[in-house]
A and B are shown apart, each in its own frame.
Chain A
Amino acid sequence: MTPLLSVSDLHVGFGRDPRASEIVRRVSFDLAAGETLAIVGESGSGKSVTALSINRLVDYGGGQITRGSIAYTRADGRTLDLAQASERELTKIRGGEIGMIFQEPMTSLNPVLTIGEQIEESFRLHRGLTGRQASAAAKDALDRVRIPDAARRLKYCPHQLSGGMLQRVMIAAAISCNPRLLIADEPTTALDVTVQAQIMALLAELKRETDMAMIFITHDIGLVAGIADTVMVMQSGEVVEQGRLDTVLDTPQHPYTRHLLSAVPHFEAGRAARTDFRRPDTPAAPALKVEGLTVRFPVTSGLFRRQTGAVHAVDGVDFDLMPGETLGIVGESGSGKSTTARAILGLVPPTRGRFSANTNLREGQGSSAVQMVFQNPYASLNPRLRVDSILAEPVIAAGRRVTAETTQRMTQLLERVGLPKDALQRYPHEFSGGQRQRLCIARALMLNPSVVVLDEAVSALDVSVQAKVLQLLVELQQEFGLAYLFVSHDMAVVERIAHRIAVVYAGRIVEIGDATSILSKPKHSYTKRLIAAVPSIDRRHQTFDLDTRQVPSLVRPLGYEPDPAAWQRYGPDHKALAEA
């Protein structure tokens, strides 16, 4: 039987001379009807370009197929080479036979058209439906992706829905005409873990319901385990390994695949947690102590901006942090984890609560005892300043002079974080994302702090770079006895660096304690849900249950106070919020 799609020797180039600058080279694969192929690779591997070449959207991004064929078997059995197809044929195939969903649901839907109009469009284009028929079909499509209250949602505009909902809408539009192939380009990367699990579950169910083939593109090799039949690993534009899922995951042949499987953080349910630190049995002075931290943002309404309520971003958070210890703060977007970090650094004014950093741990530290590293290394360095000015800033801010000693410390730190010697005279844009984050770490260490707050510090980096930066952080911690407050949404990453973990949900800590204990034996229902949603290569063929629960609103009426926390103990260092 002929495969649905047979790509052979595909080359794609960009720019004025596409042949000279090929982003994708020698890519070949077959895909049978109803099967799922996962393309795995990091940024710049050519995985997205490969996918966009199949429905020829790559043409609109300035790309051009320079060699090879894409043989696609149409519904009537005829074969068509998509690499040579005319724009006329392609518009019939796009949406009608090949659907596609993208990484950023927030920007992938047209902001000025309603959800309904955007789904109806497919029916109008490929099924010839109009008016009431089209909207009835659109409602059915929303039902199919399990969007509650579909009829009403049709009239919504994209900005009124959450990212997870929008990705469902995208899927609804893409599969509305029962395509025979669905291309999913990192469809869950921009979403929270629990929402990611929902979307993955939905895709798996849709695949079972229909006989749709799928090409699933991801940077997360853990994610493919649950959905793919075959896997293709790409690196800098070429395929380095391809084969059946089990073969590739269990007996990887190429060093890069092995690297992806071993060096990159994968979630291991607490087995990979660090054991190099134990809290002292006798009470000692913590490096940082936070008590009852509360951050609320006023909500106003009406003509005179009267305050009618408050967003309870952080609602009574307590924890302490010992020298040399890492506390991982885990939660999803909107949980208040970043606000907590920002409040400790004084970037948002706390409504209530105390936090005190121990300034006696290091000599002459003063207010610089706590430093921070931000998520986006591209945004946290002033592009117009040279590296030496960037590193000098904390020193100047502390009211000290920049001396030869300062310069010496700069070169030492740069060397320690693994940057070249001449880096001092260069500008941030000359460095890669990973290097910039090393620069940010060096800057945070300039004043010899005792606590470093790392706000999603490795989340913006490629997976293999993540592993290296995490390693560096661990080394620096041991060398300088640093205490880390590591804020992240990524359980696998937190597992690699945290000694203790605090799980935050809707502005409160719901579970806190020893990392191994929390990750292996979660007690709070939210922690369980969060951990169950983390993809992993061990959880092969595991399917997720569909669950359409929404995150509760954090907006509370004026004067609302939450019930005081009632803790339940589960071990020497493990407690969770009691649930009703």
Chain B
Amino acid sequence: MRILRAIFTHPSGRIGGTIVGLYLVVAILGALGFTPHDPLMQFRIDRLQAPDAVHWMGTDLFGRDVASRLMVGISQSFVVAFASVALAASAGVVLGLAAAWSGKGWDGLIMRIMDVLLAFPAILLALLIIAVVGPGTWTSVMAIAIVYTPIFTRVVRGPALSLKTRDFVDAARTFGSSRYYILTRHLMLNLVAPLTVQVTLALAWALLTEAGLSFLGLGTQPPASSLGLMLSDSRNLMEMAPWLLVFPGLAIMIGILGFNLLGDALRDILDPKTRRVAA
């Protein structure tokens, strides 16, 4: 509750929080099927209809309602983003803590493996994974999760290493506190703040990547709807039907903006001292 109030007194937190909240509502409605029209229904006489009272955002080449497809697309993107970030964050916490805590040998091994993963441009690594597994929604989830795991590992390892040398951990050692107690109470509890910030920013990035993959035709497969696919479909029609470009484009942009703003606000609120981005 305190944190919510803090977010809403922070200028960019207010905007970001509102956007994310609205998108969550839209995503849930979309997932539950509360859309203005059936997103797959083809209104044959209403092909490429400009926005009007019936089709708020117009229709596409097959006469499908853009607004409805957009809602379903947003929920699709959110599922991929949340699932992949949850996977990456969990893997990152485990690997990062293991590396920081065990030191020397294991640390070196884990971090070299992360270096290997980081040596691939993100999209390329995702492409490689998709080449192996074949395109699809859950492949996107896995690909994005694997791409983001090394980043979470670093985000956890850095602060964990410095927490490990803090006086309160030394104090705990002098009492003879168990490793489990130190890891959970002294390390994890203090990692919640940086992780929350990173998770929020990672969600923005995951939305971006998901849209990019489906734009390339490697993510969610048609006829299911996704924001990237809608944009990709708009390419040859944009002079005739600009709404096909504008609405999905804005929807992606504003959604990512929302998470970025929220992430910035959380960073200011939760750890004002780490404004410098971890290298």
Q: A residues bordering B, Cβ < 8 Å?
A: 342, 345-347, 367-368, 370-372, 374-376, 379-385, 389, 393-394, 396-398, 440, 443, 447
Mark out the residues of chain B between 114 and 139 whose CB falls within 8 Å of any chain A CB in the assembled complex: none
A443 to B181, CA, bound (A): 17
Cβ A374 vs Cβ B172 within 8 A: no
Is A382 touching B189 in the complex (CB atoms < 8 A)?
A: yes
- Known A384-B190, A397-B181; contact A374-B176, beta-carbon cutoff 8 A: no
Instruction: Identify A396's interface contact among B174, B177, B186, CB under 8 A.
Output: B177
With A389-B185, A396-B181 given, is the CB distance from A380 to B175 under 8 Å?
no
24 A-B pairs, CB-CB below 8 angstroms?
A: A342-B170, A346-B173, A346-B174, A368-B175, A370-B174, A371-B175, A372-B174, A374-B170, A374-B171, A379-B167, A380-B167, A380-B168, A382-B185, A384-B190, A384-B192, A385-B189, A389-B185, A393-B185, A396-B177, A397-B172, A397-B178, A398-B175, A440-B171, A443-B171
Q: Chain A nearest CB: distance from B180 CB in Å?
A: 11
A383 surroundings in chain B (CB, below 8 A): 190
Interfacial chain A residues near B172, Cβ < 8 Å: 393, 397
Check B112 for interface membership: any CB of A closer than 8 A.
no
Q: Which of B168, B170, B186 has the most CB of A within 10 A?
A: B168
A367 contacts B190, CB within 8 Å?
no
- Give Cα A370 to B173, complex, Å: 12
Instruction: Count chain A CB atoms within 10 A of each CB in B171, B172, B181 and give the residue with the most.
Output: B171
Q: B166 at interface (Cβ–Cβ under 8 A)?
A: yes
Residues of A within 8 A of B185 (CB): 382, 385, 389, 393
Tell whether, in the assembled complex, residue B173 and residue A347 are in contact, meaning their CB atoms are under 8 Å apart.
yes
A372 pairs with B171, CB closer than 8 A: yes
Q: Is the CB of B175 within 8 A of A347?
A: no
Q: Measured between alpha carbons, how far is A372 from B170 in the docked complex, in Å? A: 10
Q: Which 8 A-B pairs have the closest CB atoms?
A: A380-B167, A397-B175, A397-B177, A379-B167, A394-B175, A384-B189, A382-B168, A345-B174
10 additional contacts, CB 8 Å, given A345-B173, A368-B175, A379-B168? A346-B173, A367-B176, A375-B167, A379-B167, A380-B168, A382-B168, A382-B186, A384-B192, A397-B172, A443-B171
CB A227 to nearest CB in B, in angstroms, measures 35
Residues of chain B in range 154-185 having any CB-CB distance to chain A below 8 Å: 166-168, 170-178, 181, 185
For the complex, what is the distance from the CA of A367 to the CA of B166, rounded to whole Å? 22
CA distance A370 to B174 in the complex (A): 8
Chain B neighbourhood of A443, CB < 8 A: 171
CA distance A380 to B176 in the complex (A): 15
Please indicate the chain A residues that have their CB under 8 angstroms from the CB of B177 in the complex: 393, 396-397
Task: List B contacts of A370 (CB < 8 A).
Answer: 174
Contact with A along B193-230 (1 / 0, CB 8 A): 00000000000000000000000000000000000000
Name the residue of chain A whose CB is nearest to the CB of B172. A393
Closest to A377 in B: B167
Instruction: Give the Cβ gap from B103 to chain A, nearest Cβ, in Å.
Output: 14
Identify the closest chain A residue to B169 (Cβ): A382
CA of A559 to CA of B31 in the docked complex: distance in angstroms?
72
Given A380-B168, A381-B168, check contact A393 B189 (CB 8 Å).
no
Residues on B with beta carbons closer than 8 Å to the beta carbon of A342: 170
Distance from B52 Cβ to chain A, minimum over Cβ atoms (Å) = 49
Whether the pair A398, B176 counts as a contact (CB closer than 8 A) is yes
Chain A residue numbers with a CB within 8 Å of B168 are 379-382
Q: How far is the CA of A375 from the CA of B166 in the complex (A)?
A: 12
**B167 near A376 (CB under 8 angstroms)?**
yes
Chain B residues whose C-beta falls within 8 Å of the C-beta of A367 in the assembled complex: 176
**Chain A contacts for B167, CB-based, 8 A:** 374-376, 379-380
Q: Which residues of B contact A346 (CB under 8 A)?
A: 173-174
- On chain B, the residues within 8 Å of A382 by CB distance are 168, 185-186, 189-190
Nearest-CB residue, chain B, relative to A370: B174
Closest to B166 in A: A379
B191 CB to nearest chain A CB (Å) = 10
Q: Report the nearest B residue to A378, measured CB to CB.
A: B167
- Complex-state Cα separation, A443 to B178, whole angstroms: 17
- Kindly name the residue among A347, A381, A384 whose own CB sees the greatest number of chain B CB atoms within 10 A: A384
B171 touches A397 (CB 8 A): no
Knowing A379-B166, A379-B168, A380-B168 touch, does A371 contact B190 (C-beta < 8 A)? Answer: no
Question: Which residues in A have their C-beta under 8 angstroms from that of B186?
Answer: 382
Contact check, A368 vs B176: say whether CB atoms are below 8 A apart: yes
State A368–B174 Cα separation when bound (angstroms): 8
- The docked-state distance in angstroms from the alpha carbon of A397 to that of B189 is 18
Structural contact, B190 and A397, CB atoms closer than 8 A:
no
For A385, the chain B residues whose CB sits under 8 A away are: 185, 189
Chain B neighbourhood of A376, CB < 8 A: 167
CB contacts (< 8 Å) of B170 on chain A: these are: 342, 347, 374, 380
* Closest-CB distance, B271 to chain A (whole angstroms): 11
Which B residues are in CB contact (< 8 Å) with A394? 175
Complex CA distance for A31 and B140, rounded to whole angstroms = 73
The distance in angstroms between the C-alpha atoms of A288 and B181, with both chains bound, is 28
Q: Would you call A380 and B173 a contact (CB within 8 A)?
A: no
Please give, as numbers and ranges, the residues of chain B lying within 8 Å of A393 by CB-CB distance.
172, 175, 177, 181, 185
Cβ contacts B53-89/A at 8 Å (1 or 0 each): 0000000000000000000000000000000000000
Which residues of the partner chain A approach B189 to less than 8 Å between Cβ atoms? 382, 384-385
Interface residues of B in 94-122 (CB under 8 A from A): none
How far, in whole Å, are A384 and B185 apart by their CA atoms in the complex?
8
Q: Is the CB of A371 within 8 A of B174?
A: yes
Q: Is the CB of B190 within 8 A of A380?
A: no
Most chain-A CB neighbours within 10 Å: which of B172, B173, B176, B189? B176
Shortest A377–chain B CB gap in Å is: 9
Give bound CA distance, A380 to B166, whole Å.
7
Task: Tell me the complex Cα distance, A136–B186, Å.
Answer: 54
Interface centre among A370, A372, A393, A394 (most CB of B within 10 A): A393
Q: How far is the CA of A376 from the CA of B168 in the complex (A)?
A: 10
- The CA-CA distance from A474 to B187 in the complex, in Å, is 34
Least Cβ–Cβ distance between B216 and chain A, in angstroms = 43
Q: Write the nearest CB–CB distance from A574 to chain B, whole angstroms.
A: 32
Would you give the shortest CB distance from A445 to chain B, in whole angstroms?
A: 12
What CA separation (Å) do A143 and B173 show in the bound complex? 48
Least Cβ–Cβ distance between B36 and chain A, in angstroms:
46
Chain B proximity of A303: nearest CB distance (Å)? 15
Please, which residue of chain A has its CB at the minimum distance from the CB of B168?
A382
Residues of B within 8 Å of A371, CB to CB, are 174-175
In the bound complex, CA of A345 to CA of B178 (Å): 16
B190 surroundings in chain A (CB, below 8 A): 382-384
Quick one: which of B217-247 are within 8 Å of A by CB? Answer: none
A372–B168 CA distance with the chains assembled, in angstroms: 11
Of A375, A384, A389, A397, the contact of B176 (CB 8 Å cutoff): A397
- What CA separation (Å) do A368 and B189 show in the bound complex? 25
A384 to B166, CA, bound (A): 14
Nearest Cβ in chain A — how far from B181, in angstroms?
7
Determine the distance from Cα of A346 to Cα of B185 in the docked complex, in whole angstroms. Answer: 21
B174 touches A347 (CB 8 A): yes
Cα A394 to Cα B173 in complex, Å, equals 10
What is the distance, in angstroms, from B220's C-beta to the closest C-beta of chain A?
Answer: 40
Closest A residue by C-beta to B178: A397
Q: How far is the CA of A398 from the CA of B181 in the complex (A)?
A: 12
Task: Judge whether B171 and A380 touch: CB under 8 Å.
Answer: yes
How far, in whole Å, are A397 and B182 apart by their CA atoms in the complex?
10
